[in-house]
Structure 1
Amino acid sequence: MSTFMLEIVTPERNFFSGEAECVIFKSVDGEMGVLPMHAPTVTAVNVGPLKIKAEGKWIEAVVTDGFAKIMPDKVVIMTDTAEYPEEIDVNRAKAAKQRAEERLQKQLSQLEYMRSKTALARAMARLKATSK
């Protein structure tokens, strides 16, 4: 078997559903690549780039926090958001990055600090995806 079924789901839409040869995403332990017949695993997905190899071509996207259920013949990634680079509003991402950086300069509660760090990571991942 050279492919597996890949589903990427957000609360708003089914982002991707189809056969894939490989998927690469950021997990809690760093970048993770999944090939067909991968050992069964459940892992958290972190904000960052997501790459899908389907029909011999690489497809790039950006995802936010979620989790992945990996089985030998199927991978399901459930994430808060998933976007292709062409769907990203660059000006909005730049403004979000600036707001997050400004908030991080202030004394914040631990919760506010974590939210600001997450917002900054999302904005930076979006900007990186659009700069290619």
Structure 2
Amino acid sequence: MSQAVDRRGFVRPATTASVTSVDGWERALATEGQLTPELVERITAIHDDRGRRAIEAVGEQRVKQYRDFTVVVGYEAEYVVEDDGCTCKDAEYNLDSTDPEQLCWHAIAVRVARALGATDEHDMWYSDVHEFL
């Protein structure tokens, strides 16, 4: 499987003009303004354990928005997510970059947090502070 990797090491999923089921739950979540049992079911039906982990991360406020990047605090490290691309090994090795519905849990968490307005905002540059965290 061919992966699109940019100069910063981000693995980026392919983009398509069509609306995906991911776009559907994201719009519904933004409209609802909260995670309802139906939306949790919808997200986990599409993303399984990745969806559950993403929802857990949002609930624990582990999606951080810096001036330059969005970062998800994982279990072992922090992962930078940009345009659904992520620096994690799951995105690099396990996902089909040509399928816009295949996202790592970090990218799903960013979409959920943004739809809910639940990112933890930091008025600083992640590129300046990440080595100290």
Output the TM-score relative to the length of structure 1.
0.27
Bigger CA radius of gyration: 1
Q: Which structure has greater helix proportion? A: 2
Higher relative contact order (CA 8 A, sep 6+): 2
